[in-house]
Structure 1
Amino acid sequence: MSSAAVDEWTGRYLAELATQRKLSAHTIAAYGRDLAELARLAGHADWPALTHFDIRRFAAKLHADGQSPTSIARKLSGWRGFFEWLSRQTTLSANPVEGVRAPRRAKRLPKALAVDDAVKLMDNQTHGHPEPAELCDRAMFELLYSSGLRVSELAGLDVHHVAARDGQAASLGWLELETQEVVVTGKGNKMRRVPVGAPACTALQAWLAVRPPARDGSQALFLSTRTTRISARVVQSRLKAHAIKAGMPVHVHPHVLRHSFASHLLQSSGDLRAVQELLGHASITSTQIYTSLDFQHLAAVYDRAHPRAKVK
């Protein structure tokens, strides 16, 4: 296909996007670049004659050139829309982009602290005569690591169970210190019980001894400096500041402690089903990613210890 014909098709298509779909100039420019790349890959081939196999070959070429799966997926989406439009302008037997998928995105493994770093983070907290806010922080951080809670689950905890009354909702989560457990409501409104370790129980008792009444009269377990239920954002900022002060080698947020909880538990027990239940995962597929973390740990031990692990 001549470059003049390519320019005519793309020009008409982009003009329609601007006038009928009212897309922004930035978006239209991006579509133009993606179609220019299609023209480069297709060479002199007649666009209406392109097949499913041609598009798959083009996607493979982009991948081989180092383009990310996300970028390729975006281009395929743009090409798909163009050929849908082209089918209304010419005789096109089928959209050649239909069914063509970008290469799979590499799975990003969750970040987890090394065991020594997690212990250091937990130990490097209150000393002397701590303020109530410090005791609150210690209890929150210990509980996040001890029980693998999501930050929303932590923030939603009450001191004890509160039944629904006078238009007030019942507790979504609460502490049961006598049995060393917390009850939380996770994703899909699924409730679960999670054990609380001894250091976390000790930290919680210290916090409860100085916890002031909540301003709104609620039974929120963790309170902000204004004595209202703590928010997830405040938990995140306090943990980040504490981790920096403790000299952690990575950025630490609440989900890092959840990942660390799961990874360290799996390393010690090897019980994937138990970790699934404790995390509140509906499917074990979500939990299986921690087996990769466990393998990474084993591989690191091998590299350090085995005399034949590395080429001299």
Structure 2
Amino acid sequence: MTETGFLTTERVRGHIADWHRELSAIRRLSPKTLEAYGRDLDFFFIFLANHLGGEVSLDKLKALTNADLRAFMAARRAKGAGSRTLARGLSGIKSFFTYLERNNIMALEALSVVRSPKLPKTLPKALTVPEAKATLESTKDLEDTPWIAARDTAVIALCYGSGLRISEALGLTRTDLDSQSLRVKGKGGKTRLVPLIAPVRRAVEDYLAQCPFALDANEPMFRGVRGGVLSPRLIQYRVEQLRSALGLPPSATPHALRHSFATHLLGKGGDLRSIQELLGHASLSTTQIYTHIDTSHLLSSYHKAHPRNQS
């Protein structure tokens, strides 16, 4: 029994146990997520037992106010919890109260108006140009079956050389290709044209020449070993292998290759509006995050090279 077990009534403990079973059996959350949700609820009930005085009952839960919930968030932050930890904790607590409401046990209106902490924007972690090139050049070294090696190389080339999301790359059909461009179906069903540079075109053609399956012109062209549509998890696993083999940072993922595409274009003087169109971003503000990366690079170069900054 956790510490929460000694701070709540038997009825509340029963509802917590039922909630856990639902998360596991019906929603099929991972063991780690279940553990995190349970731990966050523990923190909440430990706080309430001290804040309200004594054992936490359903009646006490029903009487919680916005001020009580804000006091809990403030107490967690005072103990060093960051915004992400607080947001995750609030998500677990809301899940428990949603369970109670869905089962007509009780409803807590105060929780519906509590906002999750604003999370800081994180900059994309792009690979360096040498790291991106090494990723492309080393893919074939990890696979003994030639057509699979060619397939994985082509998908990774599309992520870095054309800036595609992995789902976009795996959704391509032969009719989406021509000698000069790709027709890419992105988020929201929006279609865009992306230039097909020679190295990427050669990688795709190499795969198509070796693929052992008959490919319908209008069906996804990247296939698994049994001929089914290729799972993105296999490409993610391949990049994990490359990460280990090349000593790349944990941030090196298929999506990081897309970030690298945009960052490297911007670093070479690419126009932000054009990069927005290539990436398929609906808003320029989404693309502008790359300017922060490039600005850091430019400032670093300035401080190193400007004559007036030399001691």
- The TM-score with structure 2 as length reference comes to 0.68
Identity of counterpart residues, as a percentage? 37
Q: Determine helix, strand or coil for the equivalent of 1:157.
A: coil
Match of 2:240 in 1: 240
Alignment of 1:176 onto 2:178: yes
Match of 1:37 in 2: 47
Matches within 5 A, 1:159-238: 159=174, 161=175, 174-177=176-179, 180-214=180-214, 220-238=220-238
Match of 2:86 in 1: 72
Match of 2:173 in 1: 158
Alignment of 1:256 onto 2:256: yes
Alignment of 1:107 onto 2:106: no
Match of 1:23 in 2: 19
Deviation of the 1:56 alpha carbon? 4.1
Deviation of the 1:200 alpha carbon? 1.1
Alpha carbon RMSD of aligned pairs, Å?
Answer: 4.3
1:242-281 CA-to-partner distances (Å, cap 9, x unmatched) read 4443443445331111111122122223533222221112
Tell me the amino acid that sits aligned with residue 117 of structure 1.
E
Decide whether the 8 Å contact of 1:158 with 1:220 is kept in 2.
Answer: yes
Decide whether the 8 Å contact of 2:181 with 2:196 is kept in 1.
Answer: yes
Tell me the amino acid that sits aligned with residue 34 of structure 1.
F
* CA distance 1:50–1:236, shift in 2 (3 Å): closer
Match of 1:135 in 2: 150
Gaps of 5+ in 1: 1-6, 86-93, 162-173
Decide whether the 8 Å contact of 1:184 with 1:193 is kept in 2.
Answer: yes
Deviation of the 1:217 alpha carbon? 9.0
1:10-55 CA-to-partner distances (Å, cap 9, x unmatched) read 745x7257359943498788545413314545789xx999975675
Match of 1:146 in 2: 161
Decide whether the 8 Å contact of 2:159 with 2:169 is kept in 1.
Answer: yes
Deviation of the 1:228 alpha carbon? 4.0
- Find the aligned partners of 1:206 and 1:20 in 2 and give their Cα distance: 56
Q: Determine helix, strand or coil for the equivalent of 2:182.
A: strand
User: How many residue pairs get matched?
Assistant: 274
Deviation of the 1:158 alpha carbon? 1.6
- Find the aligned partners of 1:240 and 1:65 in 2 and give their Cα distance: 35
Given candidates 121, 127, 133, the residue that maps to 1:119 is 133
- Find the aligned partners of 1:202 and 1:136 in 2 and give their Cα distance: 12
Q: Determine helix, strand or coil for the equivalent of 1:23.
A: helix
Tell me the amino acid that sits aligned with residue 241 of structure 2.
A
* CA distance 1:32–1:192, shift in 2 (3 Å): same
Between 1:232-241 and 1:54-63, the stretch displaced more is 54-63
Between 1:284-293 and 1:70-79, the stretch displaced more is 70-79
Decide whether the 8 Å contact of 1:240 with 1:251 is kept in 2.
Answer: no
* CA distance 1:152–1:125, shift in 2 (3 Å): closer
- The TM-score with structure 1 as length reference comes to 0.67
* CA distance 1:308–1:99, shift in 2 (3 Å): farther
1:135-194 CA-to-partner distances (Å, cap 9, x unmatched) read 3333222222111111111112122x2xxxxxxxxxxxx2112xx211121111111111
Q: Determine helix, strand or coil for the equivalent of 1:153.
A: helix
* CA distance 1:215–1:281, shift in 2 (3 Å): closer
- Find the aligned partners of 1:299 and 1:153 in 2 and give their Cα distance: 34
Tell me the amino acid that sits aligned with residue 67 of structure 1.
A
* CA distance 1:158–1:52, shift in 2 (3 Å): closer
Decide whether the 8 Å contact of 2:181 with 2:194 is kept in 1.
Answer: yes
Instruction: Select the structure of larger CA radius of gyration.
Output: 1
Deviation of the 1:131 alpha carbon? 3.0
More helix by share: 2
